[in-house]
Structure 1
């Protein structure tokens, strides 16, 4: 099985408080709170693009540049790219001056893009014996529609990257995350509940609402609730850990209400499911790897711990991955 050897989050974004968000959007503070905003969310500073966020996250993996150049794949996994063409991965490949032997590709599975990338690239990493870089980054500010506060108030910028390696024994002082059971399902009856009009061939440039994000949160919430229990049953039947039995749960930080509903419905103890929404907001595809990086930095992981990574995304997608903590023997 493939393993995550390192995972790290970017450190370029800056926090934006509720009063700052309200001033930007033209809302009152009361309306901002009612819309479900966290205590802060993060935004990219002026002049810092989604590409810089990815490159910063990769740099914080602490890898030797020669090791980075030995990767067989560079996968950028996000809901919304920096531009429609070229891919984020091609642009990052050029910025990092990687050799032609590093294949660059993008993956889009909305908020579950990072999990989809692990699911697709993991078998190739293990079979080939070659490592891969996987990075997720989002900068949603330009696409937010301030006339829809219940969606616009939720989102923040972020990025995180992972170094994925073939199955191996950890070195002294090293902790690896073995990628175990994985499942992603598509329940597309709500495929139009999250839409960005633009970036493809359907919507004419300059049309009303072009480039803006629109979300029917109620429809997504109801669909996720309707399908979650059966999804978990299928995940467990494949060998995945029961949510109530996991040592840690890294959940997509969709919204305050969605996180709490998932925790209560799946009987997950609050101390095993860290919540990052209040500080960072919904970072879309970067939410899961950023949460994973935070958990790894916390120093709380122990050999044998079972981590359940769980979330939903536009589509509707529901996904889960079990990671097993493997530490070197002392």
Structure 2
């Protein structure tokens, strides 16, 4: 049975750091207000002229280096992003060209904050079916470009960044002891479209627009949906929460992370948390957190890691992997 093994992780954050104190000079807010409600203390902001593909390419290079591979070794590139360089073509094709990959295929996936889990699922299916042997999955965002910097309820929450993983198909016995992605679980519910969306687009206003959110409703749905999709992953693999070595949640809000942990009975010291330094980087948040925890030695080969996310749409999903 073929499994998709994670053989390399990489991350990139723009150089510019915007602290809460600096945010207080832009909108009516304070460090205390932001930290109390979100756990966020700073975020990274892409430089003028620095695009989503630039961030994605930098993260991809680092993931490939960690995997001891080069761009020409890759069969498939999927970029998860809600902030592409252009309406078309796909941002993934720009990354493909810069990496020197001239075969295979490259395309984008758009599921907002759930995008990386969605992209992992698509890549995993390609590898399990034998349609590719290696894949580069990237989450990359420049959310600073779609924020209303006069809206303190949203502009303080988001940042820019990119994370990437390299997947390689590997044969195994098909048990939970095998390294690789054990299962993925995706959901969406379009009835909640207007709770988290961008008020623009090519076919409506002709321009990108700004992010709009009903924060309390998003929070309420997030805790319920995330706990449900985590339990779905555990049940599918006949596991319990105590069997998980690390949870790598979407980094939207520390209160959501804490609420999810309480629902599952998981200690916070088994949750990888970067929201305080990265803020919400949408599709980039999970691979950024994963790359950090792998690099600092917290996540080690053979450990069980559960990733989960919820985003606009609503979309949500989970991925269970043995590293």
TM-score by length of 1: 0.86
Partner-residue secondary structure (3-state), 1:146 = coil
Question: Which 5+ residue runs of structure 1 have no aligned equivalent?
Answer: 170-175, 326-330
Deviation at 1:10, TM superposition (A): 1.1
Deviates more, 1:37-46 or 1:232-241: 232-241
1:153 aligns to 2:151 (yes or no) = no
Partner residue of 2:282 out of 264, 284, 298: 284
Task: Return the alpha-carbon distance in structure 2 between the equivalents of residues 66 and 35 of structure 1.
Answer: 42
Q: Over residues 226-276 of structure 1, what are the superposed CA-to-partner deviations in whole Å (9 max), with x where a residue is unaligned? A: 444443443333216433431110010111221111111211111111211
**What is the match of residue 193 of structure 2?**
191
Deviation at 1:33, TM superposition (A): 5.1
Maintained 8 Å contact 1:243/1:308: no
Partner residue of 1:318 out of 313, 316, 320: 316
Task: Return the alpha-carbon distance in structure 2 between the equivalents of residues 267 and 23 of structure 1.
Answer: 39
Question: Which 5+ residue runs of structure 2 have no aligned equivalent?
Answer: 173-177
Deviation at 1:147, TM superposition (A): 3.3
**What is the match of residue 328 of structure 1?**
none
Partner residue of 1:41 out of 35, 40, 43: 43
Partner residue of 2:235 out of 231, 237, 247: 237
Maintained 8 Å contact 2:27/2:149: yes
Deviation at 1:300, TM superposition (A): 2.8
Partner residue of 2:294 out of 283, 293, 296: 296
Aligned runs of 1:245-256 on 2, under 5 Å? 245-256=243-254
Q: Over residues 79-120 of structure 1, what are the superposed CA-to-partner deviations in whole Å (9 max), with x where a residue is unaligned? A: 221221121012222333431x13111111111111111111
How many residue pairs match? The answer is: 314
Partner residue of 1:220 out of 218, 221, 231: 218
Deviates more, 1:81-90 or 1:1-10: 81-90
Maintained 8 Å contact 1:70/1:102: no
Task: Return the alpha-carbon distance in structure 2 between the equivalents of residues 137 and 223 of structure 1.
Answer: 24
Partner residue of 2:134 out of 128, 131, 134: 131
**What is the match of residue 180 of structure 2?**
178
**What is the match of residue 84 of structure 1?**
87
Deviation at 1:27, TM superposition (A): 4.6
Task: Return the alpha-carbon distance in structure 2 between the equivalents of residues 253 and 64 of structure 1.
Answer: 25
Cα RMSD of the aligned pairs, angstroms, is: 2.5
TM-score by length of 2: 0.88
Partner-residue secondary structure (3-state), 1:163 = strand
Deviation at 1:318, TM superposition (A): 2.2
**What is the match of residue 19 of structure 2?**
17
Partner residue of 1:6 out of 1, 5, 8: 8
Aligned runs of 1:20-31 on 2, under 5 Å? 20-25=22-27, 27=29
Is the alpha carbon distance of 1:106 and 1:260 closer, same or farther for their aligned partners in structure 2, counting shifts above 3 Å? same
